[in-house]
Amino acid sequence: MRSTRSRGTKNRQINKICYNTLMSKLEFSGQHANEKIIVVFRRHLIAMRKGFYSLLGFFCIGSIPFLIWSSNINLLWGSLIGFALGLLVMFYHWVGWYFSVFVVTNERIRQTSQKGLFSKSVIDLNLSKIQNISYNIPGFTGEFLGFGTIVLQTIVGDMVINNVAHCERVYDELSNAIYHAGGSLDVDLNNDAKNIEAKEENE
């Protein structure tokens, strides 16, 4: 019973990190007078996979000498150094993941992308400019781990958000926000099927 409760608590903590409607009371720089935050979300932890791979890779490489000459205990320092280097690389990817945030308000969606420790870019997309929204869950992996891709289509181009945690919930929040903002929303869960039908009709 305790293990089940602890798992549930951990899952709720992860959910709050990646998807949070309770942050609607917060404010951000450049927020308009009557602008309200609806939901804040991040990409899934799977977006940090390069950091995990780096941690594992550096640790394994650093452990090779000790595995070959296991009688020499001093070679364990190689494992520790490899692990420390892996943590540094993972920290770099963690900073990029944690500070890359999507803020959905009743007026717009703001994408803040963090690259490394100092590079940051911000993109604002007015909800009324969005013509179509769709999402895709990439097979068993996306269904099992709970992530997907959301595409926001406008006249000037598309905003593609990969590895979205709780993709369906974020999709519903975005759809409702766009609808209430007066956007010309055309909800589409399967763009590929419609494109194929259009091509067949033209032929």
Tens-digit pLDDT profile for residues 147-196: 889 999 888 888 888 888 888 888 988 888 888 877 555 544 444 434 43
Distance CA(68)–CA(60), nearest Å, equals 12
- Kindly indicate the confidence band of residue 88, based on its pLDDT and cuts at 50, 70 and 90: very high
Distance CA(189)–CA(135), nearest Å, equals 6
pLDDT higher at 17 or 60: 60
Residues in the chain: 203
pTM to 2 decimal places: 0.66
Lowest mean pLDDT among 51-60, 71-80, 189-198: 189-198
Q: Domain map of the chain by residue range?
A: 53-92, 127-203
Distance CA(42)–CA(137), nearest Å, equals 16
Residues 76 and 56 sit within 8 Å (Cβ to Cβ): no
Distance CA(201)–CA(203), nearest Å, equals 5
State how beta strands 37-41 and 119-126 pair: unpaired
pLDDT of residue 185: 53
Residues 129 and 155 sit within 8 Å (Cβ to Cβ): yes
pLDDT higher at 87 or 48: 87
